[in-house]
Chain A
Amino acid sequence: QKEVEQNSGPLSVPEGAIASLNCTYSDRGSQSFFWYRQYSGKSPELIMFIYSNGDKEDGRFTAQLNKASQYVSLLIRDSQPSDSATYLCAVRNAGGTSYGKLTFGQGTILTVHP
């Protein structure tokens, strides 16, 4: 089992719809959770981070964390074609010898079609 798993996708949604991206993780010591967006040929850019159980909203984006279920998700409301990219879920455990390194999922490709 991979440490961080994302739904394989690709995920295709119409413009204006809600895109739902999911991620599960295996390390219960994980402390913080990140969603990165990566356009083709570009480096990952941070969209949101979340540390506490519950929802966190930032504009059209909502991150949801459930530590008991070891599950984190990203909702994108009013999806736009410019949201088409690969979305990477990353998990961090800053304790011990982890030194804050990020463990990434394989990414979900999102396509928003007009």
Chain B
Amino acid sequence: GAGVSQSPRYKVAKRGQDVALRCDPISGHVSLFWYQQALGQGPEFLTYFQNEAQLDKSGLPSDRFFAERPEGSVSTLKIQRTQQEDSAVYLCASSPSALSSTDTQYFGPGTRLTVL
């Protein structure tokens, strides 16, 4: 497929479990963003990768959140010791180039995480 894909689409975790969310960006896209969208709210920025470099992680809510993109393509967002407040939809977006104000960000379908 030509779009951004994410897996799993739905994840239910017990409080305290670790989870890993995967994002496959559009092939060749340099920039990759992770956003968190709580119910009834707009997406909120978590972290940004330019190729394999994580240039901005200012939006990560706590040190339980960790993201990587080791080869500059697929990215994984890991949440350790999940808490109920982590329940949200996690959206991945990619764009063709870096540091461009004109690039469109293309969003994946998201992963809906529910922490019980």
Contact surface of A with B, Cβ cutoff 8 Å: 4, 31-32, 42-46, 49, 51, 88, 90, 92-94, 97-107
* C-alpha gap A88/B99 in the complex (Å): 22
Answer yes or no: B62 CB below 8 A from chain A CBs. Answer: no
- Expressed in whole angstroms, the minimum distance between the Cβ of A7 and any Cβ of chain B is 13
The DSSP consensus for interface residues of chain A is loop
Interface size class on chain B is: 20 to 34
Answer yes or no: B95 CB below 8 A from chain A CBs. Answer: yes
- Expressed in whole angstroms, the minimum distance between the Cβ of B5 and any Cβ of chain A is 11
Q: A100-B101, A100-B105, A103-B45 are in contact. List 20 more A-B contacts (CB 8 A).
A: A4-B42, A32-B101, A32-B102, A42-B109, A43-B108, A43-B110, A45-B107, A46-B106, A99-B50, A99-B55, A100-B31, A100-B48, A100-B98, A100-B99, A100-B100, A100-B103, A101-B45, A102-B33, A106-B41, A107-B41
Instruction: Tell me the residues in window 69-116 of chain B with beta carbons closer than 8 Å to chain A beta carbons.
Output: 91, 93, 95, 98-110
**Pairs of residues from A and B, 7 with the lowest C-beta to C-beta distance, nearest first:** A104-B42, A94-B101, A43-B107, A31-B101, A101-B45, A32-B101, A99-B48
* C-alpha gap A102/B35 in the complex (Å): 9
- Complex contacts, A97 vs chain B, CB 8 Å: 55-56
Contacting residue for B91 out of A4, A32, A43, A107, CB 8 A: A43
* C-alpha gap A106/B108 in the complex (Å): 19
Are A88 and B101 closer than 8 Å at their CB atoms?
no
* C-alpha gap A107/B106 in the complex (Å): 18
- Expressed in whole angstroms, the minimum distance between the Cβ of B95 and any Cβ of chain A is 7
Contacting residue for A101 out of B40, B56, B91, B110, CB 8 A: B56
Contacting residue for A106 out of B42, B100, B104, CB 8 A: B42
